[in-house]
Structure 1
Amino acid sequence: MSYELFGADAPGIAPCRYGESKLLVRGPERDLTSPYIAILGGTEVFGRFVDMPFAALLESQLGRTCVNFGCVNAGLDSFMHDPGILRRARSSKVSVVQVMGAQNLSNRYFRVHPRRNDRLVEVLPKLVALFPEIDFTEFHFNRHLLNTIQQVSEARFAVVQDELQRVWLSRMRLLIRALGANIVLLWIRYGPNENAHFLDHEPPLVSRHMVETLGPQVRGVVVTDVQRADAGGEVQDMEVGPVHRPIAGHVIGPCAHRRVAADLEAFLRAL
């Protein structure tokens, strides 16, 4: 079976926008006039290079409409700056919110793109003062920036890390308040190995304590540990051409999506 890969890498399915929303999310556009479960998140929720992301699997298992509001490379700021998606998620019966990384947030040291949160827009004076030896003109992505400053100085990197984690908690609380009741957090965890740096794991810079702090404000937290597609030998099962094969290896594959769907199904059935 052949597939056409559209701009956001959804096999054979064009991504879509809902109403006034500026976020390009997983298609096809769904009818929101009947009760539905909203699923918000980044690349994992979108299901990049995967024919059946876990939102679609969950819908089949529960027999309830599950709307995929996943957006490739989106972060917390993507949703906080998009009232159209927030309004539609607030109107759902349940909002499942992916625990997204803390690296893709505008903060006192740098600003990120309002929709593609992985992209660096501006380095602010506080970061220049903290790392005067670095020429920041070469950076276009947040992770590249953070990896570099960590290599230059672990101690000074820790200052930026503390800021990002503080901002993450603040934004998560704002998002939870914006969505109202019946929120479930979905923590999809994966990384290269147990001993890798905190920044190398997905979601980056998010600790168990940070997630547990939010526990009293939501209906529950679903935690699923998975592997990257290359570590799990799943790239051959993904709808991806040769050019994108290295990228596909760094996201989650079909087996991981099935595991997430199963964990969510077990939790949501008990609500």
Structure 2
Amino acid sequence: MSYELKSAGALAGEPCRYGQSRLLVRGPQRSLDDPYVAFLGGTEVYGRFVEFPFVDSLQARLGVDCVNLGSVNAGLDSFVQDDSLIEVARNARVTVVQMLGAQNISNPYYRVHPRRNDRFLQAQPALKTLYPEVDFTEFHFNKHLLCTLRDISDQRFGQVRDQLQRSWVERMNRLIGALDGRVLLLWLRYALDAGAGFPEEPVLVDRAMADALRPGVQGILEIRAASAAAAQDISGMIFGPMELPAARHMIGPKEHLKIAEALACDLEPLLRP
């Protein structure tokens, strides 16, 4: 098998920004003058290492501009706190919102980076009280933190997990409300390697949480995908010589086409006059 060992800069659609947003999202930058569909999400929506992410395929299929607001390593907080991107999404005919992991949001136990939500910033007093034996200065990423907390005590970790899930539902409802409910939720599920610490993306999101959002949205599309390694979908991805390990964990071009087909079936009825 041969790989496209190129710089990620070879990808079509250089990162761009909209309005006053500080968040880099997938280009090319689209005009917002004509009707469009917006897509909010993380690395999968961005299409890391993929030349034509599913958003691009949908634009050709739907015949309407598709604005990719996906950002690498972004979480739910990246968008909830970004007025410029919320405005772009609010003005769309419909917005597809990826259901992102519950570990990457600020909550009563810890704070995350405001844009790169996968990065742990600070433990709150409640977490220091719950885990007095832990030195939180050792952590830089949320998954590492949570895996360590779970290994120390399943019982105490359950309190953290439950709070994360409550915070996630609250934050999602806030985002859906800001978009006036003109939202199609994308529940993009795929298994993670055993060493990842959690079995599946999106982390800590379950059906009860999805069902809690269902009354306020246009629908929920659940898609079971596979990583590039699991789907033998690495060929045709574009990445640098040191990026193969990361690319193996991403979603490859064949899976992006599958996602586009499924989304088109749900979006076409929502875009009819």
Q: Give the TM-score of the pair, scaled to structure 2.
A: 0.93
Match of 1:154, as an amino acid?
D
Which runs of structure 2 are paired with 1:158-197 in the superposition (5 Å)?
Answer: 158-192=158-192
The aligned runs of 1:37-116 (5 Å cut-off) are: 37-116=37-116
Do 1:224 and 1:259's aligned partners in 2 also have CA atoms closer than 8 Å? no
In structure 2, the residue matched to 1:153 is 153
8 Å Cα contact 2:5-2:239 kept in structure 1? no
- Provide Cα deviations, 1:242-262, integer angstroms capped at 9, x if missing partner: 201101111111111111111
CA RMSD of aligned residues (A): 1.8
Q: Which residue of 2 aligns with 1:5?
A: 8
Describe the SS at the equivalent of 1:187.
Answer: strand
Tell me the equivalent position of 1:17. 17
More off after superposition, 68-77 vs 10-19: 10-19
Amino acid at match of 2:204: L
Q: Which residue of 1 aligns with 2:203?
A: 204
- Equivalent position of 1:251 in the other structure: 250
Gaps of 5+ in 1: none
Distance apart, 1:200 and its partner CA: 3.2
1:237 counterpart letter in structure 2:
G
Per-residue CA deviation, residues 26-69 of structure 1 (Å, 9 max, x unaligned), is 01111110000000000000000000100001111111111000
Report how many aligned residue pairs link the two structures. Answer: 267
Amino acid of the structure 1 residue aligned with 2:143: R
User: 2:261 aligned with 1:262, yes or no?
Assistant: yes
Cα distance, 1:2 vs. partner?
Answer: 8.0
Residue type at the aligned position of 2:8: L
Question: In structure 2, the residue corresponding to 1:270 is in which secondary structure?
Answer: helix
Which residue type is aligned with residue 134 of structure 1? V
Report the 3-state secondary structure (helix = DSSP H, G, I; strand = E; otherwise coil) of the residue aligned with 1:190.
strand
Choose 234-243 or 103-112, whichever is displaced more.
234-243
Give yes or no for contact 1:4–1:12 (8 Å, CA) kept in 2: no
Aligned to 1:237, the other structure's residue is in SS state coil
Which one has more relative contact order, counting CA pairs under 8 Å at least 6 apart? 2
Q: Which residue of 2 aligns with 1:142?
A: 142
When residues 52 and 181 of structure 1 are mapped into structure 2, their CA distance, relative to the original with a 3 A threshold, is same
Residue 192 of structure 1: CA displacement?
3.2
Distance in 1 between residues matched to 2:20 and 2:192, nearest whole Å: 38
3-state SS of paired residue (1:230): coil
Q: Per-residue deviation at 1:133?
A: 1.7
Distance 1:31 1:159 in 2: 45
Q: Is the 8 A contact 2:192 2:249 kept in 1?
A: no
Q: Flag structure 2 segments of 5+ consecutive residues without an equivalent.
A: none
Query: What per-residue deviation string (whole Å, max 9, x for no partner) do you get for residues 129-187 of structure 1?
Result: 11122211110010110011111111111110000000000000000000113210011
Q: How far 1:196 sits from its partner (Å)? A: 9.7
Q: TM-score, normalised by structure 1?
A: 0.94
Alpha-carbon distance between aligned partners in 2 of 1:171 and 1:140, rounded to the nearest angstrom: 23
**Alignment deviations for residues 182-221 of structure 1 (CA, whole Å, 9 cap, x no partner):** 210011000137x999933100000011101111100101
Cα distance in 1, alignment partners of residues 107 and 91 from structure 2: 30
1:185 is paired with a residue whose SS is strand
Contact 2:122 2:136 in 1 (8 A): no
- For the residues of structure 1 that align with 2:174 and 2:241, how far apart are their CA atoms? 41
Percent identity between matched residues is 49
Q: Which amino acid aligns with 2:157?
A: F
